[in-house]
């Protein structure tokens, strides 16, 4: 046989899917609500390394390391703004800091408001940074939020219920400086002859 | 090889919309045409198309190897000098390629003649790999075609297997699929490839070419400001190498499908190079660069721009006279000259074979028909069978 033996036609069908769920897009990064995965673990939230140490006097080193890691993870995967004003709009006054990137660009990011810290066997631990917003416009107002905008409940609480994903590193969020640097040739070429025969830019 | 009339499937337009095949009719004209089909013998397929396609592909790779190592040829191929290392590097590290389509002139006997290589952004893969496959299935089940009828078309199977191979170099990475805005055909093509990659277990996302961003630290970004590290683009390298983000290509460290060395393989300058390396090969047409034309004794020839798509800016010259010319926006980078070898005619149709390769293995054919001698982007796609 010179042809594909079998094709799963159900997979190939593109007719409109019923009950399509459209996620609500939040202002903070790409916010999503934790909907279908069950929170499986209650974990402690600390607002600072000292806060962590006072709760875990035998884990001074771990608390300090976890804090540093949370700050680093936040710098890597947290939301980044091109102006202080835009950052304040999402996180509230006195909540943002400026950073200088390697090529001397200024970017603005919120401070972390705390971090999750959870001991595991053999003196190990897991941690992840948390934000909160003091801006009433933000869906994260008064709530704990992960760096990618997942909300975990009131920031008055020192405990959050999370699943395993909460501790996984998030993809790094970059500061996009520009868009549209690819695609200009087609704009120029399609001016030729109007738009009569253009169907593909492949061949 | 012959052309047979057949009854259309009664509800094929509904089926098309069910499967998301939205571009079967374009600009008011039929693009998918199932009022007839082409029939090949197994011998024609295996000896005249399958084997020569794989051999031609290997010959083309030999040309790439020669060109990337030689400044003179890189210039001839109109590759901007600042990207020579980028392309050379991509070739020397053997960056994985997915697919290509060779256009062949073949009418059922004699050697198929190699027209050109669409090795960077070939389209019509959905129609080939899935839609004509479904047509055969339906027509056999309806009793209109023999149960013994086969098709030269393992494209979808090979695509999925190839994606599964490439995946091992990109564990835990997201593959971004990309094409330009405002073209249903390209969007449909990219969706099909995304479906095949998904079937191979790859996590996929889509972004339009025009929406790609550049970050402060030199990464290409998606609309969520995440780094793009692996991308399929249905957008020609010859455009990308000349646009605003061209200078960011090296630092962005994206792994591209197709890889940058495809800019050499898909270049029409490969045709005169092939003729230099493999003169008088039965599947090649004599081809020359501009400066070699005078001494070539070529009297009937086709003039093709080094960069062009869908039959644009092509002219036919017979005994010193231009007898045909298509218009278009290409040609700034120069032309090549290819021996005139007209497409075979079936009735009043001119027929072109597209021979698909997945990572160098022949994977099937598409048949396109046109009332014109030069196949353009609106020529009709016809199904085929082997019997």
Per-residue pLDDT tens for B224-264?
889 999 999 999 999 999 999 999 999 999 999 999 999 99
A21 pLDDT more than 80: no
Residue A34 binned pLDDT confidence (cut-offs 50, 70, 90): very low
Q: Return the residue in A1, A106, A150, A203 with the most chain B beta carbons within 10 A, the one to mutate for interface testing.
A: A203
Query: Which pLDDT score is estimated for B182?
Result: 86
Contact B198, B143 (CB under 8 A): no
Q: Do A2 and B208 touch (CB under 8 A)?
A: no
Predicted confidence (pLDDT) at residue B14 exceeds the cutoff of 50? yes
Q: Is the pLDDT of residue A80 over 90?
A: no
How does pLDDT run across B256-299, given as a tens digit for each residue? 999 999 999 989 999 999 999 999 999 999 999 999 998 998 99
Of A5, A13, A171, the CB nearest to B157: A5
Nearest to A149 by CA among A69, A77, A73, A66: A77
A23 three-class SS: coil
Q: Which residues contact B280 (CB under 8 A, 6 or more apart)?
A: none
Distance CA A146, CA A155 (A): 12
According to the model, what pLDDT value does residue A189 have? Answer: 64
> Using 50, 70 and 90 to split pLDDT, how confident is the model at B308?
confident
In B, minimum Cα distance to A184 occurs at B243
C-alpha B262/C-alpha B95 separation (Å) is: 10
pLDDT tens by residue, A152-193: 889 998 888 887 778 887 777 788 889 999 998 876 665 443
Q: By three-state DSSP, how is residue A66 classified?
A: helix
- More confidently predicted of A136 and B127: B127
Q: Which residue has the higher pLDDT, B350 or B373?
A: B350
- pLDDT of B350 over the 70 cut: yes
Best of B11, B187, B213 to disrupt the A interface (most A CBs within 10 Å) is B213
Residues of B in contact with A175 (CB under 8 A): 215-217, 225
Is residue B138's pLDDT more than 90?
yes
Q: Please give the pLDDT value at position A199.
A: 61
Task: Give percent of chain A above pLDDT 90.
Answer: 32
A9, A182, A189 ranked by CB distance to B329: nearest: A189
Q: How far apart, in whole angstroms, are the C-alpha atoms of residue B260 and residue B246?
A: 12
**Mean pLDDT of all residues in A4-10:** 93
Quick check: A25 pLDDT over 70? no
Q: Alpha-carbon distance B362 to B101, whole Å?
A: 9
CB-based contact B127:B63 (threshold 8 Å): no
Residue A28 confidence (pLDDT):
42
* Whole-number percent of chain B with pLDDT over 70: 98
- Cβ distance B150 to A2 less than 8 Å, yes or no, reads yes
Sign of CA dihedral B184, B186, B192, B198: negative
Alpha helices in B214-321 (DSSP H): 237-240, 249-252, 262-265, 270-277
For tokens 């070429």, name the residue: A189
How open is the CA angle A108-A110-A114, to the nearest 5 degrees? Answer: 155
Q: Which of residues 154-183 of A touch B (CB under 8 A)?
A: 171-183
Determine whether the interchain pair A199/B134 forms a contact, defined as Cβ–Cβ distance below 8 Å: no
Task: Return residues 301-320 of B near A (CB < 8 Å).
Answer: 309-310
| Residues contacting residue A194 through CB under 8 Å, at least 6 positions apart | none
Contact B239, A202 (CB under 8 A): no
Cβ contact, residue pair B219, A103, below 8 Å: no
- Using a CB-CB cut-off of 8 Å, the residues of chain A touching B256 are none
3-state SS of chain A: helix, strand, coil percent to 5?
25, 25, 50
Distance between CA A30 and CA A28 in Å, rounded? Answer: 6
pLDDT score of A31 more than 90? no
Is there a contact between A10 and A123 (Cβ–Cβ < 8 Å)? Answer: no
Q: Which residue of A has its CA nearest to B223?
A: A176
pLDDT at A203 over 70: no
| Residue A50 CA, distance from chain mean position | 26
| ipTM (interface pTM) | 0.90
Q: Residue B306 in contact with residue B78, Cβ under 8 Å? A: yes
* A129 and A49 Cβ atoms separated by less than 8 Å: no
Q: Can you give the pLDDT at residue B90?
A: 97
With 50 as the cut, is the pLDDT of residue A22 above it?
Answer: no
Structure tokens at B385: 């069978």
A87-91, A113-117, A184-188, B183-187: least confident range: A184-188
Residue pair B206/B194 in contact (Cβ under 8 Å)? The answer is yes
Alpha-carbon dihedral sign for residues B231, B235, B239, B243: negative
Tokens of B75: 């210039």
- Chain B environment of A192 (Cβ under 8 Å): 328-329
Is the pTM higher than 0.90? The answer reads no
Beta strands A125-130 and A143-145 are unpaired
pLDDT for position B334: 87
Is A102 at the interface with chain B, CB within 8 A?
yes
pLDDT score of B239? 92
Q: In the predicted model, is pLDDT for residue A55 greater than 80?
A: yes
Q: Is the model's pLDDT at B310 over the cut of 80?
A: no
Q: Give first-to-last CA distance, chain A, whole Å.
A: 28
Count of CB atoms situated within 10 Å of the CB of B33: 19
- What's the rounded mean pLDDT across residues B307-312? 74
Residue A185 pLDDT: 82
């Amino acid at each position: 046989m010179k042809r594909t033996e079998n094709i799963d036609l159900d997979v190939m069908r593109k007719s409109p899917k019923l009950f399509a769920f459209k996620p609500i897009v939040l202002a903070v990064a790409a916010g999503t609500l934790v909907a279908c995965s069950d929170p499986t673990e209650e974990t402690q939230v600390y607002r600072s390394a000292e806060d962590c140490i006072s709760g875990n006097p035998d884990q001074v080193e771990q608390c300090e390391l976890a804090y540093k890691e949370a700050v680093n993870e936040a710098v890597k995967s947290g939301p980044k703004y091109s102006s202080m004003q835009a950052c304040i709009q999402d996180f509230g006054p006195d909540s943002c800091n400026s950073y200088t990137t390697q090529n001397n660009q200024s970017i603005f990011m919120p401070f972390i408001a705390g971090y999750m810290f959870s001991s595991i066997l053999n003196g190990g631990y897991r941690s992840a940074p948390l934000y909160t917003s003091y801006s009433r416009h933000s869906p994260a107002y008064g709530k704990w939020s992960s760096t990618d905008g997942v909300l975990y409940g009131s920031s008055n609480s020192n405990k959050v219920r999370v699943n395993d994903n909460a501790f996984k590193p998030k993809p790094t969020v970059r500061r996009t400086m520009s868009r549209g640097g690819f695609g200009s040739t087609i704009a120029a070429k399609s001016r030729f002859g109007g738009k009569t025969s253009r169907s593909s830019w492949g061949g | 090889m012959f052309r047979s009339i057949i009854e259309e499937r009664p509800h094929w337009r509904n089926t098309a919309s069910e499967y998301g095949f939205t571009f079967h009719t374009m600009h008011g004209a039929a693009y998918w045409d199932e009022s007839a089909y082409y029939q090949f013998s197994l011998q024609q397929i295996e000896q005249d198309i399958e084997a020569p396609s794989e051999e031609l592909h290997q010959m083309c790779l030999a040309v790439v190897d020669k060109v990337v190592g030689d400044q003179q040829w890189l210039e001839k191929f109109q590759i901007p000098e600042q990207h020579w290392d980028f392309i050379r590097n991509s070739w020397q590290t053997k960056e994985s390629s997915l697919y290509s389509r060779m256009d062949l002139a073949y009418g059922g006997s004699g050697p198929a003649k190699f027209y050109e290589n669409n090795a960077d952004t070939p389209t019509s893969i959905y129609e080939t790999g899935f839609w004509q496959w479904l047509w055969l299935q339906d027509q056999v089940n309806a009793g209109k075609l023999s149960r013994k009828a086969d098709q030269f078309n393992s494209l979808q199977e090979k695509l999925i297997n190839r994606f599964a191979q490439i995946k091992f170099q990109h564990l835990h990475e997201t593959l971004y699929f990309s094409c330009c805005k405002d073209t249903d055909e390209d969007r449909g093509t990219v969706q099909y490839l995304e479906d095949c990659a998904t079937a191979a277990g790859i996590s996929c996302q889509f972004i339009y070419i025009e929406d790609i961003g550049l970050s402060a630290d030199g990464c290409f970004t998606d609309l969520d400001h995440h780094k793009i590290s692996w991308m399929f683009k249905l957008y020609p390298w010859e455009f990308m190498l000349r646009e605003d983000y061209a200078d960011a290509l090296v630092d962005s460290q994206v792994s591209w499908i197709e890889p940058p060395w495809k800019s050499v393989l898909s270049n029409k300058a490969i045709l005169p190079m092939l003729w230099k390396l493999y003169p008088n090969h039965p599947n090649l047409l004599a081809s020359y660069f501009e400066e070699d034309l005078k001494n070539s004794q070529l009297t009937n020839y086709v003039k093709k721009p080094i960069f062009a798509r869908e039959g644009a800016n092509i002219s036919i010259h017979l005994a010193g006279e231009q007898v045909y010319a298509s218009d278009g926006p290409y040609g700034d980078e120069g032309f090549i000259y290819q021996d005139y070898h007209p497409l075979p005619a079936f009735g009043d149709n001119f027929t072109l074979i597209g021979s698909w390769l997945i990572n160098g293995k022949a994977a099937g054919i598409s048949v396109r028909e046109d009332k014109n001698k030069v196949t353009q982007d609106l020529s009709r796609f016809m199904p085929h069978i082997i019997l």
